[in-house]
């Protein structure tokens, strides 16, 4: 990890949530909260379709990608435009991470500027366009490879008051957790409209959720407007009951906080949860990340060695074929055992020399995606 030498590497908080959950307003609140404590965060906006944001981002996808032009140029709809804009922006991810790593270290030229200790990221309201896309995965994995990264899943509390919508949100959160493999905090937003204590009770007390489910079923049976379609009966009730049992283990891996982005309550509790998840990342997720990285490096090296062997094999076969063609019809050239031995030794020496030149050409740039191109340029120069 890039900031592993620091006592406390900056933590990246990636805010995701359904459209209308108050995600951008939540971003504004935590940004203002940190500025009020004289701890300004580094803010990144990844929503290309937003017209105005109520905070001043340090990095804004709209500065490098024009969402409307992308839609026109590629003949796309709104969601396709967002996805393509993210794909285009993801090509700059190495520059973004390098900039963040630089800002996370003390600046010798400007000692008064404090290193950043928090990075907050706003994502598109079309949650699937970020979480399930290749570009979203690249951006998240790139952040997590350099900084402790936490997912803040923002939930609209008033719209989650029924058992069915609550369970739908929990299943979506579960899928995001296992897709990203990063620590997650459930942020129940808009608690000034409805208190989130019911959600905490349902997550910690199985019997309380069963009772709420029973009440919703009774309300549906009576045809009440308030509860109509909320719980369901028969198959739906049985499904919700089974899922609540299944998610009991899932709840134990989550932190849950109630926040009002409008009033500002619960923000301190949110940052306490962030600190807990940061330590969890360093303790549990980072070793797994390093293990996956080593496996990828091993696989990459194996693949490159295979390609190198194939290339050297092709280069060693070609001269032999040329010699056969030039000597075709000449019966006086007779193969002897000593010729085979000499050719094997020459081939082995050529192979070793070529491998040494290959390593020299690569240098310390083995991770570069242009490594193969660099090697081709190197061979071209040797001609």
Q: Would you say residue 138 lies in a domain?
A: yes
For residue 166, give the CATH number of its domain.
3.40.50.300
Q: pLDDT of 34-77, one tens digit each? A: 999 999 999 999 999 998 999 999 999 999 999 999 999 999 99
| 50, part of any domain | yes
Residue 376 included in any domain:
no
Secondary structure element (H or E) that encloses residue 186, with its range: strand 184-189
Q: What is the pLDDT of residues 89-121, one digit of tens each?
A: 999 999 999 999 999 988 888 888 889 999 999
**Across the beta sheet with 255-258, what order do the strands follow?**
59-60, 42-45, 118-122, 11-17, 149-156, 184-189, 255-258
Give the residue numbers spanning the domain of 103.
Answer: 11-220+244-291
Tell me whether residue 183 is in a domain. Answer: yes
Whole-number Å distance between alpha carbons of 219 and 214 = 9
What is the number of domains present in the chain?
A: 1
Q: 365 is written with which tokens? A: 């740039």
When pLDDT is averaged across residues 299-312 and rounded to a whole number, the result is 82
CA distance 297 to 317: 30
Please check whether residue 138 is in contact with residue 145, taking contact to mean a CB–CB distance below 8 angstroms: no
- With respect to residue 238, please indicate whether it lies within any of the assigned structural domains: no
Whole-angstrom Cα distance, residue 101 to residue 116?
9
Is residue 332 assigned to a domain?
A: no
How many Cα neighbours within 13 Å face the side chain of 119? 30
In a domain, 339, yes or no: no
How do residues 158-176 score in pLDDT, each as one tens digit? 999 888 889 889 989 989 9
Domain-embedded: residue 311: no
The mean-pLDDT minimum among 26-30, 115-119, 121-125, 226-230 falls in 226-230
């Amino acid at each position: 990890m890039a900031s592993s030498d620091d006592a406390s590497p900056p933590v990246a908080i990636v805010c995701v949530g359904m459209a209308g959950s108050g995600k951008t307003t939540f971003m504004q609140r935590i940004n203002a909260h940190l500025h009020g404590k004289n701890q300004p965060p580094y803010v990144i906006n990844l929503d290309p379709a937003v017209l105005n944001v109520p905070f001043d981002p340090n990095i804004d996808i709209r500065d490098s990608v024009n969402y409307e032009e992308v839609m026109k140029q590629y003949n796309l709809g709104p969601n396709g435009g967002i996805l393509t804009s993210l794909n285009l922006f993801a090509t700059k991810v190495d520059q973004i991470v390098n900039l963040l790593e630089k800002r996370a270290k003390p600046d010798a030229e400007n000692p008064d500027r404090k290193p950043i200790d928090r990075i907050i990221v706003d994502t598109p309201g079309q949650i699937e366009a970020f979480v399930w896309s290749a570009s979203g995965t690249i951006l998240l994995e790139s952040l997590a490879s350099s900084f402790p990264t936490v997912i803040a899943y923002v939930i609209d509390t008033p719209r989650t008051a029924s058992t069915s919508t609550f369970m739908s949100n929990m299943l979506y959160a579960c899928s995001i957790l296992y897709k990203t493999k990063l620590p997650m905090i459930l942020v129940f937003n808009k608690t000034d409209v409805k208190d989130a204590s019911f959600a905490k009770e349902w997550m910690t007390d199985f019997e309380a959720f069963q009772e709420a489910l029973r009440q919703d079923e009774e309300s549906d049976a009576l045809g009440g407007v308030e509860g109509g379609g909320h719980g369901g009966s028969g198959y739906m009730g049985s499904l919700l009951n089974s899922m609540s049992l299944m998610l009991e283990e899932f709840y134990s891996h989550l932190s849950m906080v109630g926040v009002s982005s409008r009033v500002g309550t619960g923000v301190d509790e949110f940052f306490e949860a962030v600190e807990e998840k940061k330590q969890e990342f360093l303790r549990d997720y980072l070793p797994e990340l390093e293990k996956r990285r080593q496996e990828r490096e091993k696989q990459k090296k194996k693949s490159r060695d295979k390609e190198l062997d194939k290339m050297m094999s092709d280069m060693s076969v070609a001269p032999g074929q040329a010699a056969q063609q030039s000597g075709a019809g000449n019966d006086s050239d007779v193969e002897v055992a000593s010729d085979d031995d000499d050719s094997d030794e020459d081939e082995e020496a050529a192979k070793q020399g070529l491998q040494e030149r290959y390593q020299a050409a690569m240098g310390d740039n083995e991770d570069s995606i242009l490594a193969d191109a660099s090697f081709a340029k190197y061979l071209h120069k040797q001609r």
